[in-house]
Structure 1
């Protein structure tokens, strides 16, 4: 048994309160691998869990954190040895299984991959689930035929975690990127990531009542959902695709079959949670070599567990830009 620090979210009356507490590894769920977590990151889903969203986390007290990178402390399986550096993202981590905002996690071996040689543990969590999701979106678009010659690629919610990494990755791969945001003051941040055009969010909100919009985009990564997503669908070029992975603007939209029939466009859903481990591992390998980004630190703010609740408030208020790396020491 070992004592460790963790962010614990507890229900107190109608409110949910986050505190850094001392826990014991004996309190962790059963699992094949005990991992000493060195880094985690902040995602919108973590903020929902930390604020008491029962659609994400059913039972409290709870330690959120859907990402973790660290070192194997105990292993009951042959695939992992004590001292191995590993990454865990998605599955039930941080949802209903004690997550990466604790210095230890215990999880099934089927959730764990070894750190790719081309990424440090710190770099892997600068990317985290957001980076994995952005890469999956781009990979799916390319499988559907996207190439730099197809035209400008739009990224919605571009200042967020997934959006900012998508802008950087697309630029790295030779695409011309248009970045959409409601934060006009962050234009320079997006240009530094490689965006060639800044599109105000309001431009993508007009026309929800129309069946079709003018062709604009050779492809798109949508991180926000809602009517903005279907406006993007309606403004794709003939045969183009949009990869959809987020819902901050809503889970519903006004839709028609017209763009699919008249322009042959594709709406591609992307999930990074229940994805088979072999697919996750192959994408992490790609992010560590062919798609490796050299400007990850420019995307991120680093915080301690004690500073994390303030960052959670910011992401829930829509004020966060880029990534938040959580250093668990």
Structure 2
């Protein structure tokens, strides 16, 4: 360990990072991105310096790197909303050199430099100690997607969700959050219904733990203020018309965890599900939260919510140098499973 600590304290003058810029071309702004050599003082301020072992690829990362979505709120920034690695130095006494840690979300690659870098400098309140029994790769195989699924389940249970109240429907079932939610919920005793447009993925979804599939193409969502109650609750990453339908079809005292808007950001419903059935709509924000909530979520991910199909959901690891070639598949929706990015897998 002493040799490792000595090596960690020797941060090179320059190191490799994948950086995103916005440049002005005439009357238009253009996003450019690529590998650069930068120094520690080029990074946004923070109390903890980390030698990065792994990151991952989320849809937001692909949008930011390709300029297909407005994710960054300042430029330039290092991309990558997640990272795991080993502490190089810290001016916060909660962390010391050699500690294995992770950072997920926490406005990385939005306001602060992110995980696509050999070294990162981050705010101490965003850092979580590596949970016992998990590796630095494990936590990036989970990443923001796995953490968001865990947070959704935690909030639902805090609000009284129990398996006896009926099945949980998971929309966007083949996505990262949906896949993790199915596996986690089934592992803790819930009957899970996968709601998807990709019915060819039936074997995958049932292997994760789905009891059955519903094709979104076969659903008549209706227009009544209240439809036939079918679910004990829901984890929804679609939003729009689908979320409105879920409010009308969730049973008494059921919870709907809203975590995405792939199907639209508008919500057209009535107050009747909320006042006549006591349905709760829970907004899930995995970026801005107290460190106590973040830490508790990761403790559960290492224990009762630990996925049993992690290698199935996150099967791919790529080298850091191959990162730019991976984004298009995410933007085009052709990628299968989550991708871990190995930046220094020797840690």
TM score, norm. by length of structure 1:
0.93
Q: Which runs of 4+ in 1 moved over 6 A?
A: none
Counterpart of 2:229?
Answer: 215
Counterpart of 2:277?
Answer: 263
Alpha-carbon offset, residue 54 of structure 1: 7.1
Counterpart of 2:39?
Answer: 24
Equivalences for residues 38-49 of structure 1 within 5 A: 38-49=53-64
Contact preservation (8 Å) 2:169, 2:194? yes
Counterpart of 1:93?
Answer: 108
Contact preservation (8 Å) 2:243, 2:267? yes
Equivalences for residues 1-329 of structure 1 within 5 A: 2=12, 3-11=14-22, 13=25, 15-52=30-67, 55-204=70-219, 206-207=220-221, 209-300=223-314, 301-329=316-344
Q: In structure 1, what is the Cα distance between the partners aligned to 2:302 and 2:274?
A: 36
Q: In structure 1, what is the Cα distance between the partners aligned to 2:227 and 2:144?
A: 32
Contact preservation (8 Å) 1:35, 1:70? yes
SS in 2 for 1:86: strand
Q: In structure 1, what is the Cα distance between the partners aligned to 2:156 and 2:145?
A: 17
Distance change >3 Å, CA 7–CA 244, structure 1 → 2: same
Contact preservation (8 Å) 2:78, 2:116? yes
Higher mean alpha-carbon deviation, 73-82 vs 164-173, is at: 73-82
Q: In structure 2, what is the Cα distance between the partners aligned to 1:185 and 1:15?
A: 38
Distance change >3 Å, CA 208–CA 9, structure 1 → 2: farther
Count of matched residue pairs: 328
Q: In structure 1, what is the Cα distance between the partners aligned to 2:70 and 2:193?
A: 33
Contact preservation (8 Å) 1:6, 1:305? no
Larger Rg: 2
Q: Quote the RMSD (CA, aligned, Å).
A: 1.9
TM score, norm. by length of structure 2:
0.89
In structure 1, the gaps of 5 or more residues are none
Q: In structure 1, what is the Cα distance between the partners aligned to 2:129 and 2:239?
A: 33
